[in-house]
Structure 1
Amino acid sequence: MISNRRKEKRVKGEERLLALLLLTLVGWLPTAPLLAQGVTPARLRIVVNSDRDSVQADGALTLREAIELVNGTLSVDRLSEAEKPQVSIATGATSEIAFQLSAGQTVIRVSQRLPNITAPVLIDGTTQTGYAANTRAIAELPLVAPIVELTATPGAFVSRGLSIVSDNVTIRGLSIYGFTDDHDDTERTPPADIFIAHRLPPPDVSKQKVPANFAPFYSDDIPPKNVLIENNWLGIRPDQSVPPTTSAFGVSVFNSTGTTVRRNWIANHDGSAVITSVRADNLVVTENAIVGNGIAGMPDAIRLEGAIDHAQITGNLICGNDGAGVYLFKPQGAAQIRDNQITYNGRRYRRAAVYLMGNDHQVTGNTIAHQTGPGVVVASFPRSSRNLIESNRFSTLEGLSIDLVTQDNVSVHDYQRGDGINPKRNSPNRRKDTGNAAINAPEFTAREFVLSGALAQVTGKADPGSQVQIYRVEEGNSPYGPLGEPLGLTPANSQGQFTLTVSAFKPGDQVSAIATDPKYGTSEPALNALIRTADSALAIPTSPSIEVPRCTTPPIAEKPPIPAIPQTTPIVLKVPKNVHFALDKDFISSTSAKVLDRIAQVLLENPSIIVELQGHTDPRASDAYNLDLGRRRAISTRNYLIRKGIDPARMTIRSFGEQKRISDGDTRLDFARDRRVELIYKDARNIEVIVQEEDLQLEPAGGVR
């Protein structure tokens, strides 16, 4: 009898709870009565109204408490009476964390990692009062400045901002920065502003020995699905400044499927803006501004490795990063890289704008310009083939538009920057040891083609059955491209011959071409040919004037007028040329900081100036050591100027080590003068350079490295 009464009471209680839930969802009853009973529903709407980092029953709800409520590790009945009104039942498909922070208290500083997000949730910074959804921060992309900031407490090393281990999580409208480690205890997984993986990555070592390379995973290491990262600013403050502590990585997709990274501004990271590790199938990275990353570690803006099948990198602005714009390292599966603006990259390492390992990638419709390396490199180890590289626009490259690396050239320089034009394929073995199976570049039948009106018939030879794409070459600084404007496609017949009549030519134009065979991929460019009239002399093309590097611009309505630079009466500017360093050191001294402050002010006042930072050392170490030390000094100088607001696209880095000493002497003064970063300025105007030595740092008498 007692058992039946208890059962009846339990059933009636469940029926009442279900009725209250249904009434609440349709808006007939407030949520307070349900929550007052100590019941925590499956989906909550939680309003964060405190910038503190704590879990305690007090007067306001913190982000840490909100995540624990969503995860189910904190129940509503443990909240204070003042906190409970901030929690209601969510009407959407997932829980929601909104923000109502007081003005002036919108920076949430955490002293240790926030809990992993283990349940579906939308964390929505756009709910904060004052968020201006219709106000663009830059002209290039629809990016909106966030208000709510998430960062580490000053002096604390917190490795991750938000860690996602659940399906159907959305992070929206936040500024997240300052998350890194102290580099003393290297983590098994990378520190990042946002980290996405299965629970307990890498595989839980309590089960058994960690598998090599974190794979295969155990049966319960399920990658989260359908994670959306949108409208956030990662590594950059709402006022567009560089934070005092830079984050290690932006978004680390360690193990996930179907992640989308959309319309974020990702900048100023020590390493890559977006990096994958084990699995990132169906990853979409689209319409992001990815600017100035790789400043102290892995230099490439987007680095894809692991399982990346059906990954799409589309419509992004990828500018001013220290290495490649997109770097694919031994991936499993194929990626599409299309319709991106990839410009001014390779500021620290001279790499290709796009570096491909693997098969069946597509690189189409991109603008690739101002790269301190080639446009696209296709590796040969591991063997990489069937990579299609078509309808891109290339300009101002230090290398070929497309470079197929051979296994005969095995240095790091060859593989990362390319090895130059390949000879014509002379053996079937070349198919095996060269990127894209050594498909031959087209060969024109003549070095010049004659105009008939505005038409010119372009003829040549390529691999039989390939599709030949003709390009206008808009610069004259290379005999092979760069491939500027795509003009048309034509097939090569069974004998390899092709013909295309092209309109809108003018005398002095140059043309090049590439060939694509789906079985092998796209070739390197053809040797340029000249377009001329029957009676014109051979024209010498001129190189375009130097453009001022610029990654982003203010919205059109707010864009200030660009002052004209007079050409007849040069303006003379006075600016320091060197900063100096202590013996075997690469950090900026307080005296050198004052010098750099003066340099930064001149660069801010004169946005047309670009600068190369050349690192130098004294001669008392090995060549390799000194080259590295010179590079580190140049990096420290560049990063100081970045924090002063100088666009990273305006600065490149080069190290000479001990190769360019000030003098041949061996006194302490001579060595102190050698230990420098020399700034090489370029501008349309004259610049009077001050050789100053106020920050010389002499070593103690008798000091030896």
Structure 2
Amino acid sequence: MSQNSQNKPQKSPRRRKVEQIHLIAAFLYLLPSTFYLAPVFAQAPPSLKVVVNSNADGTPTPDAQLTLREAIEVVNGTLPLEKLSEAEKAQVQPGSGSSRIEFNLPPGATNIQLQSLLPDLATPGLVIDGTTQPGYDPNTSATAEIAIPVPVVEITPASGKEVFRGLTVVADGVTIRGLSLHGFTASPEKQLLGNLLVYDSNPKPVTLTTPPGDIVVAHRFPPPNTKYQQPPFGDFPFASKDVPPKDVVIENNWLGLTVDEKMPETTSAFGVYLFNSQGTTIRKNRIYYHDGSAIITSVRGENTLVQENIIVGNGIAGMPDALRFEGVVNKSQVIGNLICANDGAGVYLFKPQGSVQIENNKITYNARRLRRAAVFLMGSNHLVKGNEIDNNAGAGVVVSAFPKTRGNLIQENKFTALEGLSIDLNTQGNLDVSDFQTGDGANPQRNSANRRLETGNGAINAPEFSTRSFSGATLTGKADPGSEVTIYRLGDYQTGKEALYEPGYGALSEPLTTVKTDEKGNFSVSVDKLQPGDGVSAIATIPQYGTSEPAVAAFIGDGTSLKPTSKPTPITPPQCTSKPAPQPEPEPEPEPEPEPIRIRAPRNVHFALDKSFISQESAAVLDRVAQVLREYPFIVVELQGHTDPRASDAYNLALGKRRSQSVRNYLLQKGVDPSRMTIRSFGESQRATDGNTRVEYARDRRVEIIYKDVRGIELIVEPQEADLQIEPGRGRRK
């Protein structure tokens, strides 16, 4: 042995094993993709119709019944027909056209519980059709807003098993229809290298190279290292073999939601993850209760169509936005969806390449946990048109100034009850996190030579009315020359400390008419629909630059008042969906009005020192809260987190937020609709007492439950201390 080799440090067995695994993974990645994953066919695989008649899962075995795993391997060509039993062969028939997987599961055995990750869907044109299961009724729906039939076949991980993807699409033209999928997530302790699952003896949080979720669309794995991944120019960072699947269809599925409309015990990470796709259609699905986004694109999601889906309660533990588009998303469309009660924005475009059309959606009651804009736009040339955007804990549409943004058209939308402007153009000078999430407020008129570089949508100016009050219905004012000015009625202009908006602004509730400015930017227009007391605003659009922020409000009247004569109607939080209307029955005789109902409800729960988990005693208290909220669905609550004073302000604000979020998640598990709960943290700023004993500190560590809209009810809210958690004393001191 040489002197150099004697002095060289010896590697541990564990280190040598990890290096060997990395070498194997790198070798597999360099091989043609068909070698390590896809079946090798001398010609195209034959067209087959395969019927799944068993909900069992495990290693394919010739027995009396055919499982979903076996069906996928049969159509992929990795399980030859000669390896099936005669009973299984009876479930396989020659097909016409594309291959199909259908279902004929026994009644009461329609939940397929997976033991491990299913094989990828690698057969072009494959249809997996849950609507073929006996008992599936295509003519009924659990929701009135968008008709989506209730699935019968349910696919979940088996109890105690962690399966991080439900169905993975790696081939063109695959259709997934009529299924329920939920419970697909991955713990950070598991690391994936190519096709090798490695358990580290010293586990650390990592980013999976393949994303978790109910349905993932991507090229054949393993993918490139995504740690340094950027949206592709040409094929970068992909090799020539990493071709995105085209024309995938995902329709009439329930993702993240059980077939009895419950939040599952284990929530999936994401609903549909378009890691790398072209032309995917996602239509008429219910997508609920995911830790992250309901639909997310990654490196490539070109020409994606998201249409007529019901998207509710997503983002409960991570990336909070219901729809998050990033990477190459050119010619994508979000049309006709109901997007309700998600924890972040309804639609969030993050550094997208290409334009997105967002049209005719109902975007309501979003940003319940994290105050954000209902629609947040980065990039240029997006269209936001004909949407109803209301009851949002943030602005309506925010246009970022980073990167430079132009040509974003925001037209014919109806806004109501926003905690911010209807349209907010960010400036490059406002760099707080809140500015990027909820907008930075109204901009001043910007007339410098470089103003087009400083603000979203090329800094197009908001119109200005010539006066704050008009005696008739002819409105005059000024805007940027060459712009089209759209006049809006204001539906909920408010003043005073209860106002949701900056002084002088309200929600653009109804577009009335559009007029073009003259060469100097002046406009004059008569609006027949206006009445004395109405409030009006306006926006300006130049296609080159985009749409402006709203004008400061003006009013129709005699000039003696600068606010509408009618008060805004209070907004009652709705359920996101309702049941279809039953067949009409004869109207019963009117009954006398009932006496007010008297109920009692707990006001608070308590926490241990520096903790945010729900104790057994607190759970019993929250069970009473959940019972009240289930019995009286019009009651809404604000969950206010508090701490004792023994830490910094910033730490206590974060701790209070975690406590209120824990209470919210517990009530979600008990069936309380997410649209009825808002969280807020006060940290140490509102103590329960002024003392400094262990008991008084324990009273400070709490979440206060503030009940609202208790019409027709005598609600007795009672403080309680049954779950008080007093920290142990130190030594002999008390």
Q: Show the counterpart of 1:516.
A: 541
SS at match of 1:604: helix
2:78 and 2:228 mapped to 1: Cα distance?
28
Instruction: Compute the displacement of 1:594 (Å).
Output: 1.1
Counterpart AA for 2:86: E
Counterpart AA for 2:639: L
* Match status 1:380 vs 2:385: no
Counterpart AA for 1:660: Q
Q: Show the counterpart of 1:278.
A: 299
Counterpart AA for 1:49: N
Query: Quick one: which of 111, 115, 122 aligns to 1:118?
Result: 122
2:725 and 2:561 mapped to 1: Cα distance?
62
Q: Show the counterpart of 1:505.
A: 530
TM-score normalised by length of structure 1: 0.90
TM-score normalised by length of structure 2: 0.86
1:305-356 alpha-carbon deviations (Å, 9 max, x no partner)? 0000001000000000001000000000000000000000010000000000
Tell whether the 8 Å contact from 1:565 to 1:684 is kept in structure 2 after alignment: no
SS at match of 1:50: coil
Instruction: Compute the displacement of 1:220 (Å).
Output: 0.6
1:620 and 1:537 mapped to 2: Cα distance?
48
SS at match of 2:651: helix
Q: Show the counterpart of 1:417.
A: 438
| RMSD of equivalent CA atoms | 2.4
1:213 and 1:447 mapped to 2: Cα distance?
48
* Match status 1:689 vs 2:721: no
Counterpart AA for 1:701: G
Q: Show the counterpart of 1:653.
A: 679
Query: Quick one: which of 238, 242, 255 aligns to 2:259?
Result: 238
Which moves more between the two structures, 113-122 or 684-693? 684-693
2:560 and 2:160 mapped to 1: Cα distance?
73
Q: Show the counterpart of 1:390.
A: 411
1:565 and 1:593 mapped to 2: Cα distance?
38
* Match status 1:473 vs 2:490: yes
SS at match of 1:104: coil
Tell whether the 8 Å contact from 1:125 to 1:173 is kept in structure 2 after alignment: yes
Q: Show the counterpart of 1:76.
A: 81
Query: Quick one: which of 717, 727, 733 aligns to 1:699?
Result: 727
CA distance 1:236–1:565, shift in 2 (3 Å) = farther
CA distance 1:507–1:619, shift in 2 (3 Å) = same
* Match status 1:134 vs 2:162: no
Q: Show the counterpart of 1:24.
A: none
Instruction: Compute the displacement of 1:212 (Å).
Output: 6.0
Which moves more between the two structures, 493-502 or 667-676? 667-676
CA distance 1:602–1:465, shift in 2 (3 Å) = same
Q: Show the counterpart of 1:178.
A: 183
Counterpart AA for 2:269: A
1:68 and 1:79 mapped to 2: Cα distance?
11
Structure 1: tracts of 5 or more residues without a match: 1-38
Q: Show the counterpart of 2:479.
A: 462
Q: Show the counterpart of 1:598.
A: 624
Counterpart AA for 1:692: Q
Seq. identity, %: 57
Which moves more between the two structures, 233-242 or 693-702? 693-702
1:415-471 alpha-carbon deviations (Å, 9 max, x no partner)? 1111111000131222111101110000111111223xxxx1111110000011111
* Match status 1:310 vs 2:331: yes
Tell whether the 8 Å contact from 2:470 to 2:559 is kept in structure 1 after alignment: no
Q: Show the counterpart of 2:448.
A: 427
Matches within 5 A, 1:269-418: 269-418=290-439
SS at match of 1:82: helix
2:564 and 2:373 mapped to 1: Cα distance?
30
Counterpart AA for 2:115: S
Structure 2: tracts of 5 or more residues without a match: 1-42, 191-205, 495-500
SS at match of 1:469: strand
Query: Quick one: which of 147, 157, 166 aligns to 1:161?
Result: 166
* Match status 1:89 vs 2:94: yes
Query: Quick one: which of 669, 680, 685 aligns to 2:706?
Result: 680
Tell whether the 8 Å contact from 2:535 to 2:563 is kept in structure 1 after alignment: no
1:569 and 1:682 mapped to 2: Cα distance?
20
Tell whether the 8 Å contact from 2:230 to 2:299 is kept in structure 1 after alignment: no
SS at match of 1:472: strand
Q: How many correspondences in the alignment?
A: 658
Instruction: Compute the displacement of 1:592 (Å).
Output: 1.3
CA distance 1:381–1:558, shift in 2 (3 Å) = farther
CA distance 1:354–1:169, shift in 2 (3 Å) = same
Q: Show the counterpart of 1:104.
A: 108
Instruction: Compute the displacement of 1:210 (Å).
Output: 7.3
2:591 and 2:479 mapped to 1: Cα distance?
47
1:195-238 alpha-carbon deviations (Å, 9 max, x no partner)? 11001143279xxx976678421111100001100000000011
Instruction: Compute the displacement of 1:620 (Å).
Output: 2.6
* Match status 1:528 vs 2:553: yes
Query: Quick one: which of 649, 656, 680 aligns to 1:630?
Result: 656
1:230 and 1:238 mapped to 2: Cα distance?
16
SS at match of 1:101: coil
1:109 and 1:262 mapped to 2: Cα distance?
25
Which moves more between the two structures, 618-627 or 608-617? 618-627
CA distance 1:210–1:501, shift in 2 (3 Å) = closer
SS at match of 2:508: coil
Q: Show the counterpart of 1:542.
A: 567
SS at match of 2:175: strand
* Match status 1:612 vs 2:617: no
CA distance 1:538–1:284, shift in 2 (3 Å) = closer
Instruction: Compute the displacement of 1:688 (Å).
Output: 1.6
Instruction: Compute the displacement of 1:652 (Å).
Output: 0.8
1:131-160 alpha-carbon deviations (Å, 9 max, x no partner)? 010001111001111000001112222111
Q: Show the counterpart of 1:31.
A: none
Q: Show the counterpart of 2:23.
A: none
2:103 and 2:526 mapped to 1: Cα distance?
61
